[in-house]
């Protein structure tokens, strides 16, 4: 019976550590996406800033604002593209040059000018396909309903905890569980934030809830990874075409 509370403590500590690194990864991939977006769409969306003392609610509110702003730009571009498709622009531009000149160099320059902005439909397509930004907005909104919003990122995990763990495992501590100093305070804060008055086992209940929160952050991270990878892979191809 005595091993069950320790097992629940370790589950809670592991979920907290995973949440910590998920948030850092989400911030990193979001910033990569923003940089690609700004560079190619001529926008000036601010990057996310995630520090260990940042409030979780503030971070998600910042994320929500950024994704909503990107969605607004994509919606506008989508409407413009539907009003005047890319192939129509190409045909109009080339036809205009053909009517005025038969010079091959001028035709090449006209096509180059049109294809210079061909990356914009790609970005819009990547972010529109599968409703990437819409899903992100829904997922972030859902995450903001969990009772951890008033905690700081450092309340979940501290990198110096790992350093302490490395030193204690080679010393007097024989336990495979989390170190007692920082981790004990962390678990108390998490248990308090995730407190369920009807739970018979508060630690188990907190671990279950935080594991569910981590599962919810998973799709957010996956979507960001796929979107940035797709843009990083395909955008250079359009640049090569426009540079020729």
pLDDT tens, position by position, 134-163: 999 999 999 999 999 999 999 999 876 544
pLDDT value, residue 94 = 45
Q: Which DSSP letter does residue 243 get?
A: H
- Collapsed DSSP state (helix, strand, coil) of residue 15: helix
Whether 38 contacts 48, CB under 8 Å: no
Cα-Cα-Cα-Cα dihedral sign, residues 185, 186, 192, 196: negative
Per-block average pLDDT, block size 10, for the chain (244 residues)? Answer: 79 96 95 92 91 92 96 88 57 47 50 53 80 93 95 88 45 44 81 91 95 95 92 67 46
User: What SS3 state is found at 22?
Assistant: helix
Report the pLDDT value the prediction gives residue 237, as an integer from 0 to 100. Answer: 53
| 34 SS3 class | helix
3-state secondary structure of 41: helix
**φ/ψ of residue 55, rounded to 5:** -75, 135
The pLDDT value recorded for residue 84 is: 58
């Amino acid at each position: 019976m005595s091993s069950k509370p320790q097992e629940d403590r370790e589950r809670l500590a592991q979920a907290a550590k995973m949440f910590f690194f998920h948030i850092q990864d989400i911030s990193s991939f979001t910033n990569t996406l923003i940089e690609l977006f700004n560079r190619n769409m001529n926008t000036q969306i601010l990057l996310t800033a995630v520090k260990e003392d940042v409030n979780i609610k503030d971070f998600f509110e910042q994320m929500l604002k950024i994704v909503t702003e990107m969605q607004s730009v994509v919606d506008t571009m989508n409407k413009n593209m539907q009003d005047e498709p890319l192939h129509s622009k190409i045909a109009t531009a080339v036809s205009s040059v053909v009517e005025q000149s038969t010079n091959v160099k001028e035709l090449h320059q006209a096509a180059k000018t049109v294809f210079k902005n061909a990356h914009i439909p790609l970005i819009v397509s990547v972010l529109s396909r599968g409703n990437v930004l819409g899903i992100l907005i829904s997922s972030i909104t859902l995450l903001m309903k969990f009772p951890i919003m008033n905690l700081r990122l450092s309340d979940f995990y501290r990198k110096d905890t790992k350093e302490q763990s490395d030193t204690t495992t080679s010393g007097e501590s024989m336990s495979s569980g989390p170190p007692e100093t920082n981790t004990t305070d962390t678990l108390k804060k998490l248990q308090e934030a995730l407190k369920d008055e009807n739970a018979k086992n508060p630690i188990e209940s907190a671990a279950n809830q935080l594991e569910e929160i981590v599962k919810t952050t998973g799709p957010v991270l996956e979507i960001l990874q796929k979107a940035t990878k797709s843009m990083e892979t395909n955008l250079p191809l359009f640049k090569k075409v426009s540079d020729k």
